[in-house]
Amino acid sequence: MIIPNKDYKCEPVWIYKYRGLLIALATLAILVYARPSLFSLCIGLVFSAAGELLRLWALGWTGEHTRKQSLETPLLVVGGPYKFIRNPLYLGNILTSLGVITAASGRLTWPGTLGMFIFGLSALYFVYASCIISEEAFLAVKFGNVFFDYRGSTPALIPRWRDLAEALNAWGGDGGRVSDRKAHFVFKEDELESEPQPAAAADPHFQRANLKFEISSLIWLAVIWSYLAVSVFCR
């Protein structure tokens, strides 16, 4: 049995601390060479919209601490989208980024399109693989066997096919009302050594107030897509 260290804190690797900046720089590099078409713009918007909806769903469950540069959390959230994958925010980011890459490559040559996708996917892998490793090492020490049980039963990024229909049904603000008992709980530090009890009413449910922490990201996305839309007709 692994005893959790409730007071554990650690300094994250620099990639985790500057993950937002690194992805922003990669995005700017893609925009410099972007040659979108109206068709690629529409296809890319579908991917980005799906990614942003997933981000909003996840952020409604987790709140502000997922936006910080430091590794810290008082809770191990296993409800909402976290019932189906361990890293819904990162999957949302990947889908959003794939949408931008798809839109930007519309009028490029095949070698140019291939190069843009290789660059974009490499940047995503470099950043988010490092972040996931850092986060899960932190959670393993912080929450012990509770986290190991969760990791063993929940995929990292790609949901199981049998879970997709349940995930779609769970969307809409009450992802905790699902068949798996563990999704009804948010595990708190002081509950780790005993049978989990239901958390306070404000904890285990989607909270719309948390969405305010996404405003800066939405503004950034609006700037990106406005630039791509103008580029369809002006480049």
> Burial letters for 66-105: b for 16+ Cβ neighbours within 10 Å, e otherwise?
beeeebebebbbbbbbbbbbbbbbbbbbbbbbbbbbbbbb
Q: What is the pLDDT of residue 13?
A: 73
Greater model confidence, 169 or 55: 55
Q: What is the pLDDT of residue 16?
A: 85
Residue 180 has pLDDT above 50, yes or no: no
Q: What is the pLDDT of residue 204?
A: 54
Residue 134 has pLDDT above 50, yes or no: yes
pTM: 0.80
Average pLDDT for the chain: 80
- Nearest by Cα to 81 from 73, 72, 90: 90
Q: Are 30 and 100 in contact (CB under 8 A)?
A: yes
Residue-wise pLDDT tens digits, 6-61: 555 555 577 888 899 999 999 999 999 999 999 999 999 999 999 999 999 988 88
Q: How confident is the model at residue 62 (pLDDT cuts 50, 70, 90)?
A: confident
- 98 alpha carbon, distance to own chain's centre: 13
DSSP one-letter code for 172: T
Residue-wise pLDDT tens digits, 71-123: 777 788 888 899 899 999 999 999 999 999 999 999 999 999 999 999 999 99
Please list, in sequence order, all residues whose beta carbon lies within 8 angstroms of the beta carbon of residue 192, skipping any fewer than 6 positions away.
4, 6, 143, 144, 146
Q: What is the pLDDT of residue 10?
A: 56
Domain boundaries in the chain?
14-234
Greater model confidence, 144 or 224: 224
Three-state SS at 47: helix
Greater model confidence, 132 or 176: 132
In 1-109, which ranges are continuous DSSP H helix?
14-17, 19-32, 38-62, 88-104
Greater model confidence, 210 or 166: 210
